Amino acid sequence: MISSMHNSSAWRRALVSLLLLGEVSASHMAPHARRQQQTTTASPTSTTTSPKVTAISDCHNHGATVFCMFGTAEYQILGQATATTPPPPAYTDCHSHGSDMFCVGPDGGDIEVAPEGSAHRSGEEVEGDQHHDHDHSHEEGDAASQGGVDCHFHAGVEHCVGAGQSEGSAVAGSCKRRHREYNIPLRIGFLFVVLATSSLGAAVPIFLTRILPANFSVIFVVLKQFGTGVIISTAFIHLFTHASLMFGNECLKNQIKFEGTTAAIVMGGLVISFFVDYACHRLAKSLEGTAASVKTSGDIVNVLILEAGIIFHSILIGLTLVVAGDSFFITLFIVILFHQMFEGIALGSRIALLQKHEPSSAVNVSPLLSVEPPPVEPKTAASNSDGGGSHGSSLPLTNSSSLKPISIWKKLLMAATFGITTPIGMAIGIGVLQNFNGNDPATLIAIGTLDAVSAGILLWVGIVEMWAHDWIAAGGELVDAGAALTACASVGLLAGMALMSFLGKWA
């Protein structure tokens, strides 16, 4: 009996010990299980909450810290201070070691990275975490692509498209003004560079007429046809295209409901140019009466119309150049330099050959200024006997009138007017730089309208008064030209079109 009771007490003590041991074990295991569950839920590499990070790009400095982008998320590069060294463009082959993330740098070594705002800094405490919460609002659009958003420029006006969206779509909020820092001294300095380049392009052909001998007249033929190609390409590739992009901008919010708005305004520019040209020809004919006087007056009017069309869009070019972001400014500036030089040559080559009609005795006219002969009129007996007068000029002479070049000072004044227009636009842009919003509806409509009107003007002058007049109209300089001159002129025409169209990729 006593033995039986002793054995029963021993079993009871053993059972109580086992129960106590189980409770202690459970109390130690539960926190571990909870921590494991929390770690699994909060893991940044979990495929159930976010896509797996394979590479990070668009790396940039903020102070001594490097940050890179994955989509819209930002990651800090730990353990690297590159305040004075540009960061690499990207880190690839991102992978995890436990709860830490590493990516492979350009040198092939592993670099630890962490999500922006993460409390984990490779086991180190980071004081003042708030200094990492920097503002990127001033950088939006400076990169070609950030976080799946493609921000680029059309004629200097920024346009942002989301990943997978079409060109007609806009990212929410992208119509608001984007704050960014502008390098003002650089823009002021480049204003004078553009002034010199534009003026030089327009003035050089004028001086060439005074120094080149007569047997180099083919150079002017090529320059004129090069200018014709430049004007036509400017109208189609630059102005018509840019006007279409302005009126098609999503920020107008369906304010422009007529799809043919751009073409209608271009057609309006054509009509205006035609009526001005026609009225001036009729006025010259009624006042002076001779075919030669009408022709010379018409030539002057055509050049003035051409210059008016160029001036309109040159001011816009200066404005849009200045307001472009710094990341795009240098590229656009280089393109604008060539653009203005080519347009200057196009305008200057026409200004250089302008003549005026005077009722006086026959005068000698430089052969360079007689590349484009006027309509044939009755000749004097002297001219019939020697094929062009005793001076050898190819211009026909009449008893009552003659042609002579316009004063070089008047020509240089016309060239200077073109030279200052783009710098004026740049000065206006600098003045409104801190308030300009290229995606404001009123701004888009104004720029689009002026671009379209300018396109219409240049199309009329370029196709009718320059291209057709020189090649197929009666008295055109290339109507009866030889094979060599025709080939040179064709090369000049196509080169002008090709080079100006190529520049349209950036401006």
Asked if residue 370 lies in contact with residue 389, where contact means CB atoms within 8 angstroms, the answer is: no
Angstrom distance (rounded) from CA 306 to CA 162: 40
| Domain, as residue range, for 78 | 56-119
Query: What are the backbone dihedrals phi and psi of residue 60, each rounded to the nearest 5 degrees, phi first?
Result: -155, 160
pLDDT computed for residue 456 by the predictor: 95
- Rounded to 10 degrees, the C-alpha dihedral 132/133/135/141 comes to 80
- Residue 10 placed within a domain: no
| 8 Å CB contact between 354 and 297 | no
Domain shared by 387 and 420, yes or no? no
Which residue, of 85, 119, 153, is where some domain finishes?
119
> Do both 274 and 371 map to the same domain?
no
| 3-state class percentages of the chain: helix first, strand second, coil last, to nearest 5 | 55, 10, 30
Long-range CB contacts (< 8 A, 24+ apart) of 193-196? Answer: 193/337, 194/318, 194/321, 194/333, 194/336, 194/337, 194/340, 194/422, 194/423, 194/426, 195/419, 195/420, 195/422, 195/423
304 and 379, same domain (yes or no): no
Q: Does 305 reside within a domain?
A: yes
Are 331 and 424 within one domain?
yes
Spatial contact of 221 and 477, defined as CB atoms under 8 Å apart: yes
Residue 383: what pLDDT? 39
Element containing residue 358 per DSSP (H, E): strand 355-358
As given in the structure block, the two tokens for residue 253 are 């919010």
Cα 150 to Cα 159, 178, 309, 484: the distances in Å are 8, 15, 33, 49
Number of structural domains found in the chain: 3
Q: Which residues contact 171 (CB under 8 A, 6 or more apart)?
A: 149, 160, 161, 162, 165
Identify whether residues 267 and 324 lie together within a single domain: yes
- 19 domain residue, yes or no: no
Looking at residue 92, its pLDDT comes to 85
Q: Please tell me whether residues 108 and 193 are part of one structural domain.
A: no
Measure the CA dihedral 50/54/57/62, to 10°. 70
Strands of 157-162's sheet, edge to edge?
A: 145-146, 149-154, 157-162
Q: Which amino acid is at 138?
A: H
In a domain, 138, yes or no: no
Q: How many residues does this entry show for the chain? A: 507
Tell me what pLDDT residue 398 has.
38
Domain boundary among 95, 119, 143: 119
> Rounded to 5 degrees, what angle do the CA atoms 235, 236, 240 make?
85
State whether 234 and 247 are in the same domain.
yes
Q: Tell me, what's the pLDDT at 506?
A: 82
Per-residue pLDDT of the chain (507 residues; tens, 9 = 90+): 444 444 455 555 555 454 544 444 444 444 444 444 444 444 444 444 456 788 888 888 776 788 888 877 888 887 654 555 678 888 888 888 777 888 888 777 788 888 876 644 443 433 334 444 444 434 444 444 444 555 556 555 665 555 444 444 444 446 777 777 788 999 999 999 999 999 999 999 988 888 877 777 888 899 999 999 999 999 999 999 999 989 988 888 778 888 899 999 999 999 999 998 888 878 877 776 566 666 677 778 888 888 988 988 899 889 988 888 887 888 889 999 999 999 999 999 888 888 765 555 444 444 444 444 444 444 443 334 333 333 333 333 333 445 666 788 889 999 999 999 999 999 999 998 888 888 888 889 999 999 999 999 999 999 998 999 999 988 788 998 899 999 999 999 999 999 999 998 887
Q: Going by C-beta distance under 8 Å and a sequence separation of 6 or more, which residues neighbour residue 46?
A: 40
Radius of gyration of the chain (CA): 37
Q: Mapping DSSP to helix (H, G, I), strand (E, B) and coil, where does residue 45 land?
A: coil
Find the angle CA(220)-CA(223)-CA(227) to the nearest 5 degrees.
140
Q: Where does residue 58 fall: left (phi above 0), alpha (psi -120 to 50 degrees), or beta otherwise? A: left
Q: What is the pLDDT of residue 156?
A: 54
Whether residue 340 contacts residue 420, with contact meaning beta carbons closer than 8 Å, is answered with no
152, β-bridge pairs: 159
Last residue of a domain, one of 73, 100, 119: 119
Q: Helix, strand or coil for residue 133?
A: coil
Q: Taking the CB of residue 224, how many other CB atoms lie within 10 A of it?
A: 26
398 vs 349: CA distance, rounded Å: 27
Rounded to two decimals, the pTM is 0.61
Domain check: are 259 and 317 in the same one?
yes
Specify the pairing of strand 65-70 against strand 100-104: unpaired
Alpha carbons 213 and 440: distance in angstroms, whole number: 54
In a shared domain, residues 220 and 329: yes
Residue 37 lies in a domain: no
What is the distance between the alpha carbons of residues 333 and 322, in angstroms, rounded to a whole number? 9
Residues 6+ apart with CB under 8 A from 385: none
Query: 288 lies in a domain?
Result: yes
Q: Domain check: are 439 and 458 in the same one?
A: yes
- Calpha distance 150→162 (Å, rounded): 6
Amino acid at position 106, single letter: P
3-class SS at 56? strand
Residue among 343, 323, 333 nearest 194 (CA)? 333
Does residue 74 lie within any of the structural domains? Answer: yes
Determine the angle formed by the axes of helices 217-233 and 441-459, rounding to 10 degrees.
140
Judgement on whether residues 423 and 315 belong to the same structural domain of the protein: yes
- Residue 365, domain member (yes or no): yes
User: What pLDDT does 264 receive?
Assistant: 96
The answer on 495 and 480 residing in a single domain is yes
State the Cα–Cα distance between residues 79 and 9, nearest whole angstrom. Answer: 65
**What is the model's pLDDT at position 485?**
93
Helices (H), 150-240: 184-211, 217-233
